[in-house]
Amino acid sequence: MQNLWKLLSSPKHLVAFEAAARHGSFTLAAEELNVQQPAISASVKQLESSLGVALFERTHRRVTLTASGKRFFSDVSRVFDQLLVSAQAIHNTAHHEQVTLNASSAFNFYWMMPRLRDLRKAHPNIDLRLQSSDRELNIDAENISLAIRRGHGDWADCHSAFIDKEVIYPVASPRVMASAINLKTVANLPNERLIQLEEPIRDRPTWKDWFASFNVLFEQPTSGISLNDYALVLQAAIAGEGFAFGWQHQTDPLIEQGVLVGRKEWSWETGVGFYLVWSKNQKISPQAELIRDWILSTCKV
């Protein structure tokens, strides 16, 4: 950065150059920046002197960029645009105008994404940011408005509202389900290809837990496909790679679409639930309240 200012002298020269180049006029640039026209002219001259090239061709009524000026303006305007986007995002967050929903990638992709059109119709002016993570972040430290959590609804630092109970049943593509051999009992399912979910951080049930709920001894296979993200697990199941865990609140819509088939008669209700949570330590914004209430009303449909 020191080398940059040694070359360009001052940030104000860049601002003056960008405005003059965009307007094609030192006078209009001065009006926009609320300075006198000679100040713009002096800044541009200083910048040209520092760079050792002419950036503008000056005529009586207007100025036009030289080849070097066009190249420089392209880079400067791109950087300014990036700064604007970043500044707007920070401003929105600081003023609670942006609502951040933190959840697993599977929840965001399979539950939220299909409902975004309805959300935009209900609340067209709300700036929603979907944040996917492989861990349950501290919502206060990370400035998270709302989050989806698995548990019993008793978090010390969060308010919570029940979304759905945790119910798990096997799912597979229609082709895989149709070709499965002798699936009259749960005990025969280990003979099929099972897609393993290996969550690196979150505490999640496994196939072994599911089989144990039916009093079936299950040995972890030494071969097959293992994935560390549930969204990938569902994609693998849809692609016909085998049987996957079907978390009811995410797979029911896929079954309705016909891309998956489920054995719901083999459902395991774990006693745990999924909850929408928000901070007890910080008051959430009115926009976050609208999103919260919309999600909860949608879950009751």
Dump the DSSP string for 88-154.
HHHHHHHTT-EEEEEE-HHIIIIIIGGGHHHHHHH-TT-EEEEEE-SS---TTTTT-SEEEEEESS-
**What's the rounded mean pLDDT across residues 210-230?**
86
Residue 94 has pLDDT above 60, yes or no: no
What's residue 97's pLDDT?
Answer: 65
**What's the rounded mean pLDDT across residues 240-265?**
94
Predicted confidence (pLDDT) per residue in 48-71, tens digit: 988 899 999 988 777 899 999 999
Q: Are the CB atoms for 269 and 165 separated by under 8 Å?
A: yes
Domain with CATH 3.40.190.290 in the chain: 99-301
**What's the rounded mean pLDDT across residues 205-232?**
88
The closest alpha carbon to 289, from 222, 297, 33, belongs to: 297
β-pair type (158-172, 268-279)? antiparallel
Specify the pTM.
0.66
Q: Is 268 left (phi over 0), alpha (psi -120 to 50) or beta?
A: beta
What's residue 130's pLDDT?
Answer: 92
Task: Just give the CATH number of 2-94.
Answer: 1.10.10.10
What's residue 98's pLDDT?
Answer: 83
| Range among 150-159, 194-203, 217-226 with highest mean pLDDT value | 150-159
**What's the rounded mean pLDDT across residues 132-137?**
84
Domain with CATH 1.10.10.10 in the chain: 2-94
Residue 188 has pLDDT above 50, yes or no: yes
Helix boundaries (H) for the chain: 2-8, 11-23, 26-33, 37-51, 67-94, 105-106, 116-122, 174-179, 207-213, 230-238, 248-257, 286-299
Predicted confidence (pLDDT) per residue in 96-131, tens digit: 568 999 999 999 999 999 899 999 999 988 889 999
What's residue 135's pLDDT?
Answer: 82
What's residue 89's pLDDT?
Answer: 66
What's residue 86's pLDDT?
Answer: 76
What's residue 301's pLDDT?
Answer: 46
Task: Report how far Cα 167 is from the mean position of its chain's Cα atoms.
Answer: 25
Longest dimension (CA), the chain: 90
For domain 99-301, give its CATH number from 3.90.1150.10, 2.40.160.50, 3.40.190.290, 3.30.365.10.
3.40.190.290
Residue 158 has pLDDT above 90, yes or no: yes
